[in-house]
Structure 1
């Protein structure tokens, strides 16, 4: 609604500019900057979050946030795999042997499957977790 008020203020100035001592510079600046931000976000959506890149980014983010190498399963210690626990008893784990490395937010936003060193085939396994 604030954007609409600035548009109305600019239109009123263009029609009857004799009622203003100075042009509504803040309104012009608001409209221009809003338009530039809109174009910037639209370009990000088309390039960084396209239909092709979105599943890759979703998988990479889920892998980094949900899967962990730090687990107490003694039967998986030698493999050094990333796991996520399944169920409340935490006796089963979903194993993902992909190794994803993202070093910055910029590399995550601009990255695709090749920059995350991801494979085309996902090899998930479910194994029993044996505790000490």
Structure 2
């Protein structure tokens, strides 16, 4: 805790519960700040283009970190205009990519993204 607060420092916090066995109050400093996802959802719109860094590739999706606390998912069909069988065919962990927000679900704290929508479509892909 010494990295967060100092002895004698005045802080605002949220009361969580009182532990009668140990005679201790449970408090939350984080509870006074807006939840990171809620703040993200309030200022992010479907159709918005964002920059992010690919953090993980799994069988079909790729995960892209949008902010320090928020990661979104790009499904396989959203990675490129052409058909790909695995995310590693078009992106690698560490790549910085442009993505378009296709869905923000505040209840489930999920963000769906499309890299494909952020890419120009070539003539060959239109046929």
What TM-score bracket applies, with the shorter chain setting the length?
under 0.3
Give me the TM-score of the superposition, normalised by structure 1. 0.27
Higher helix share: 1
Larger Rg: 1
Give me the TM-score of the superposition, normalised by structure 2. 0.27
Higher strand share: 2
